[in-house]
Amino acid sequence: MDGSLPVIDLSDLTAAAPGALERVAAAIGRAAREVGFFWVTGHGVSPAVSAAAFAASEAFFALPRAQKAALAIDRVGANRGYVGEGAESLDPSRPPDLKEAFNIGFDLPEGDPERFDAAGQRGVNAWPELAGFRPAVEAYFAAVLALGRRLHRAIALDLGADPEFFADKLDRPMATLRLLHYPPRPAAMAPGRLGAGAHTDYGNLTLLATDAVGGLEVRRRDGVWVAAPPMPGAFVVNIGDCLMRWSNDVYVSTPHRVVNPEGRERWSIAFFLDPNPEAVVTALPGCVAPGEAPRHPPITAAAHLAARLAATYGGA
């Protein structure tokens, strides 16, 4: 593999054609077991919606530092808000990532008793004062959430469950959209510093849209890092740790990283889809051989995510 990840065309699924779910389920199942990463085309997310989200992201990161800092994640809470350059190490053994990010979460409506929670995943988004930013980002959020849920129907089928298995585990998800901005690699930089250090993603699925600059690298099964060149209009989808656990490790959550390009900025938008906080993550029956025990004990999705986030921000 030279970085050419499998490409799965979802056109039939998007159009609800007969047999499409079975075909896509088989293709995703193969990619999820062998690589843990694949591209999707024909996904139904409008190019205009994506372009508007990228434009909103560029406008946000161009704001004066103080305006971004006013929305800092430790002020906003609940994993929402601005993460400045140097604040995060996706690979905690390396110097901090050379990137900045803005997180938008799945908000429950006003008056919902679970709109806030003590465990820190539920909360309310903070928005910059930028005309058009919020509607552009919310439209993109809704589009990728719908796509993520559609992909889960195929995944459930592939893992031997009913296609609707995940529906009530993703109706109030811990979903996070991250606008990401990678500055060009500076001339003098701490050795080993990357845009995003090697990591696996924490949740069920990640849907990543990148610009045409490149820099994403994926670790092959044999340990070799390969570049995953951008594919305009497509999403990179990868399996996260939580879905690997649902699948009893049948699917792989594959390490990846971002190397900042020389002399160029890079923008990407990652959408992390995690289950509802109270969903109990436990191996699907179809993934456990008769007479064998699941490889991991059950855990709530909230506890799983909290543990992974704590490690990244220099905690546990």
Q: Is 201 in the site for Fe ion (CB under 5 A)?
A: yes
241 binds Fe ion, rule: CB under 5 A: no
Smallest separation, CB 269 to ligand AKG (Å): 8
Question: Contact between 97 and Fe ion (CB under 5 A)?
Answer: no
Q: Are strands 235-239 and 256-258 parallel, antiparallel or unpaired?
A: unpaired
Smallest distance from ligand AKG to CB 270, Å: 4
Q: What are the structure tokens assigned to 10, written together? A: 């979802």
Q: Is 274 in the site for ligand AKG (CB under 6 A)?
A: no
Min separation Cβ 182 and Fe ion, Å: 13
Of residues 109-148, those binding Fe ion (CB under 5 A): none
Piece of the chain touching ligand AKG by CB under 6 A; list 4-12, 53-61, 138-146, 208-216: 208-216
List 104, 179, 218, 270, residue binding ligand AKG (CB under 6 A): 270
Between 268 and 287, CB nearer to Fe ion = 268
- The listed partner (ligand AKG, Fe ion, none) that binds 258, CB under 5 to 8 Å by sort, is ligand AKG
Residue 100 interacts with Fe ion (CB under 5 A)?
no
User: 196 near 248, Cβ under 8 Å?
Assistant: no
* Cα 80–Cα 85–Cα 87 angle in degrees, nearest 5: 65
> What's the rounded Cα separation, in Å, for the pair 201 and 257?
11
88 in contact with Fe ion (CB under 5 A):
no
**Residue 121 or residue 238: which is nearer to ligand AKG going by CB?**
238
Question: What's the gap between Cα 92 and its chain centre?
Answer: 19
- Binding-site member from 208, 242, 273, 283 for ligand AKG (CB under 6 A): 208
Q: How many CA atoms are closer than 13 Å to the CA of 196, on its beta-carbon side?
A: 23
Q: Establish if 145 lies at the interface with ligand AKG (CB under 6 A).
A: no
Q: Which of 207, 216, 284, 301 binds ligand AKG (CB under 6 A)?
A: 216
152 binds ligand AKG (CB under 6 A): no
CB 115 within 8 A of CB 77: no
Residue 194 binds ligand AKG, judged by CB under 6 A: no
Interface with ligand AKG (CB under 6 A), residue total 11
Minimal CB distance residue for ligand AKG = 268
Amino acid present at 35: V
Token digits of residue 105: 């979460």
**Between 201 and 274, whose beta carbon lies closer to Fe ion?**
201
Q: Does 180 bind ligand AKG (CB under 6 A)?
A: yes
Q: Closest separation between CB of residue 148 and Fe ion, Å? A: 15
Based on the shown chain and the rule CB under 5 A, indicate whether residue 211 belongs to the binding site for Fe ion: no
Residue 175 sits in the site that holds ligand AKG (CB under 6 A): no
Residues that bind ligand AKG (CB under 6 A): 178, 180, 196, 201, 208, 210, 216, 256, 258, 268, 270
Residues that bind Fe ion (CB under 5 A): 201
